[in-house]
Amino acid sequence: MKKIILALLVVSGLFALTTDQKFDLILNKLNNIDTKVNTLNKRVDTIEKKVNKTEEDQKKIEIKQKTIAKNVIEVKSKSCDNMKIVDFDYEPTTIGLDKGFKLGFKIKNRYKKTIENINIIINFRDSNDNNLLTESLIKNNLDIKPGKVKYVTDLYDSTVMENNLAQYLPTTPKKDIHLEIKPLYIKFSDGSVVRCSRW
């Protein structure tokens, strides 16, 4: 009931106003609406700027992440390639009662630190690039100074070795065998370590 009375009073008040007063009242209401719309537009503009800034920042972060990932891969790849077997030799030998081979490897340290311990995987490949054998070489207390080469040996039991390599080695010139190495673990004299994944 009160609402109806209030509405009647407003309507009767409007009828009591002159045309100019009614027009001024409408203009005031329109001005208020314009002010609110402008305020809303400013807020929307601010939000859009923040969204655009966030998107730009996100793109920059993604670019930085890709660059960092690429650099990590490159550094890791380079760090895993700084140890080389520059030469090797082999000769038949006996291990207990079994026949085998004594293999010698000349390992070159191309790092700037002294190599102490290694755990590497070696692929022996023939002249047609067929894999003859994959073996591991684990050595400690090597003390290979930067830029230096050290000769290390290891024994391989021919009963455990794949037959193709056991038969291939005695009858094949060394130039027809090449080695592909992958360091899994290299420890330096300062305690730092390089770890690399398998093939």
Chunked into runs of 10 residues, the chain (199 residues) has average pLDDT values of: 50 59 71 78 80 78 62 48 86 75 88 93 85 85 94 76 62 81 89 78
Tokens encoding 161: 């070795």
Note the pLDDT of residue 99.
74
Q: What is the pLDDT of residues 118-129, one digit of tens each?
A: 999 988 888 888
Q: Sign (positive/negative) of CA torsion 63, 64, 69, 75?
A: positive
pLDDT at position 61 is 77
At residue 75, the pLDDT reads: 41
- 13 Cβ contact list (under 8 Å, min separation 6): none
194: left (phi over 0), alpha (psi -120 to 50) or beta: beta
Distance from chain centroid for Cα 33: 56
- What pLDDT, on a 0 to 100 scale, did the predictor assign at position 70? 46
pLDDT at 189: 92
Main-chain phi, psi angles of 147, to 5 degrees:
80, -5
pLDDT of amino acid 138: 92
**pLDDT on residue 117:** 94
pLDDT at 155: 80
